[in-house]
Amino acid sequence: MPAQRYFPQSEADRITWLNNYAAKLPVHGPSLGLSGEEIGNTQADIAYLVWLLHTWNPAIQQDALQATAFKNLIASGNGTLAVAPPAATVFSAPPGPRPPGVLNRLYNQVQRLKLHAAYSEAIGQDLGVIAVADSSEHPVPVFSATLEQGPHGSRVRLDYTKYGHDGVAIDSRVAGGAWQFLASATQKPTYDERPLATPQVPEIRDYRLRWWDKDQANGEWSAVQTVLVGA
């Protein structure tokens, strides 16, 4: 089922929307024909999906970046001391798993609520299920690339808005060299934590993005963003 027009396009806005819907559903659900069991199941669905979006997926992506950097370090780095691989993220007290199709169940539920005799526009506004049109066109990604201090040293942070796309394909080049595919990303922010090509020698990194949908890059390249790393 395609995303509904009331459902935000950016990941951060979706998390906010889901949390609001979960909080307001016990207020309006009973008068719109929902049982306590269905309300509880919907809240469990949302809690699990929000955890995946906000906690699990970013951490796994971060683990993958660290794994790539470690692989490159061991393969081509310098040093005489043995280095242990970085530890994978350990999640404490995650919410209980849920069946696939959380958003499909949610969209169907919203449709039923809107057909109930007690439904009103005020309730719709409070639940966040009134569609907001976005007529803007976004033929290429608009993004920012900034240097920040990460848990393992300096890293480049890439922020972008998906505008309904699955994500972005990221290309990068170092010191004016050839463009190389860096990653496909569906969660933001995305981090580039690659070690310097030459240890302790600052380098200029360029980034460009295309849209990423159904496991394929598409569209034109964005404007190039440049960051000086290691200065």
C-alpha 88 chain-centroid distance: 19
- So what's the pLDDT on residue 1? 62
% helix, strand, coil for the chain, step of 5: 35, 25, 40
Quickly count: other Cβ atoms within 10 Å of residue 66's Cβ.
20
Q: What angle do CA 156, 159, 163 make, to 5 degrees?
A: 155
Own/partner contacts of 20-28, CB < 8 Å, gap of 24 or more, are: 20/127, 20/128, 21/46, 21/106, 21/127, 21/128, 21/129, 22/46, 22/47, 24/126, 24/127, 24/128, 25/127, 27/126, 28/113, 28/123, 28/126, 28/127
Q: How is residue 210 written in tokens?
A: 């295309």
> b/e map of 27-56 (b: 16 or more CB within 10 Å)?
ebbeebebeeeebebbbbbbbbbbbbbbee
Which sequence spans correspond to the domains of the chain?
Answer: 11-127, 143-229
Q: How is residue 110 written in tokens?
A: 């919203």
* pTM for the model: 0.58
H or E stretch including 217? strand 216-218
CATH of 143-229 given 3.40.50.2000, 1.20.1630.10, 2.60.40.10, 3.30.70.890: 2.60.40.10
Q: Decide: residue 75, CB within 10 A, 0-12 exposed, 13-18 middle, 19+ buried.
A: exposed
> b/e map of 86-113 (b: 16 or more CB within 10 Å)?
eeeeeeeeeeeebeeebbebbbebbeeb
Mean pLDDT in consecutive groups of 10 residues from the start of the chain, 231 residues: 80 92 96 96 97 94 92 92 92 94 96 94 93 67 88 89 90 94 92 91 94 93 91 74
- So what's the pLDDT on residue 135? 43
